[in-house]
Amino acid sequence: MTNIPELYQEDQKVISVELNPPRNGSSVEVIDQVVESLKDQGVRYFSVTHGAGGSLRGGTLPLTARLQDKHQVNAMAHLTCRWSSKAQIEDIVVDAQYLGIENILALRGDPPIEGNGMTKHPQSYKFASEFVEHLNRLKQGKYMKRTNDYSNENYRKGNPFNHTITVACYPEGHQEARSLDDDVLYFKEKVDKGANLAITQMIFDASKYKAFMDLCKQHDIDIPIIPGVYPLRSYRDIDFIPKKFGVSMPAEVYAETKGLKDKPEQFNEWSNEFTAQLVKDLFQYAPGVQFYSMNDSARVSEIIKRI
């Protein structure tokens, strides 16, 4: 399969799509249908989430391997470190390698949804940058010893991994960061520790992305940074998304959707056109975009046609 960061060295815009594993107990065929409907429409790769939003959804690694083997498409696995010990994390990454998964998105992980019984593992990493550092050591063939002590001087030598490391970044700052400037420094730490590519939190204003890129340039961050695009699915999203994810919504969204609260078909048409224009605006600065699809292949397909 393709080294995904290398796709952004080509002279064309890269469209990718994030997929959510079906809820536990649901059929995997929904993912097959989404991929088959999109893979011939210019989508260069798919990424598969891991418990997005703290939800109970297994199957990230098998699904990523399924995309590569069954559908013959490039795929990236999201892996989170919040729920696992450092030793368990290494086992999961070994599983990925054995399955032929060479592209990993390294995340701390979302807080759990209240009531699902999931809690942070006491021996997990506190920051995603530490997870990135662990992955980079595996690329050098440095494995943990049984002592669970993973310092530079205390490791076991083995075969080096050949995976790529993608990370998340936040053009408007992470909700837990004191400021955007501080958050960019945390992002730079992940880059300095071995990240090859970054995908942003969802963004609704191309000027926010441009300003963030300028700030990253000031800090000598030079990896490809791909804006995440979320097509608004309902009028409710206009207020829900900013509160949930700590992002801003342009004033034009509120103005243009006034009166569409109870008109879902008209809202969907507006959303598709707004998102298509957003992608066109982002393509002035960005080497590609990633759609946060929520497995809605019909909506993503319609937007791609309008780009």
Instruction: Please state the rounded mean pLDDT for residues 169-176.
Output: 94
pLDDT for 205 equals 98
Instruction: Please state the rounded mean pLDDT for residues 232-257.
Output: 96
| Mean pLDDT, the chain, whole residue set | 91
pLDDT for 23 equals 84
Is the pLDDT score of 185 beyond 80?
yes
Task: State how far the Cα of 66 lies from the Cα of 44, in Å rounded to an integer.
Answer: 16
pLDDT for 204 equals 98
* Residue 5 resides in a domain: no
pLDDT for 176 equals 87
CATH number assigned to the domain comprising residue 103: 3.20.20.220
3-state secondary structure 79-106: EECCCCCHHHHHHHHHHHHHCCCCEEEE
Instruction: Please state the rounded mean pLDDT for residues 115-127.
Output: 66
| Nearest of 72, 73, 75, 44 to residue 61 by alpha carbon | 75
Number of domains in the chain: 1
Q: Which residue has the higher pLDDT, 54 or 268?
A: 268
Range of the domain at 21: 12-306
* Residue 297 resides in a domain: yes
CA 23, 24, 27, 33 torsion-angle sign: positive
Instruction: Please state the rounded mean pLDDT for residues 84-100.
Output: 92
Count of Cβ atoms closer than 10 Å to residue 264 Cβ: 12
Model confidence over 29-44: pLDDT tens digits?
A: 999 999 999 999 999 9
Model confidence over 61-78: pLDDT tens digits?
A: 999 999 999 999 999 999
Whose structure tokens read 């046609």?
A: 305
pTM: 0.92
pLDDT for 152 equals 55
* Residue 252 resides in a domain: yes
* Residue 4 resides in a domain: no
Is the pLDDT score of 115 beyond 50?
no
* Residue 2 resides in a domain: no
* Residue 1 resides in a domain: no
Instruction: Please state the rounded mean pLDDT for residues 129-156.
Output: 82
* Residue 215 resides in a domain: yes
pLDDT for 1 equals 66
* Residue 122 resides in a domain: yes
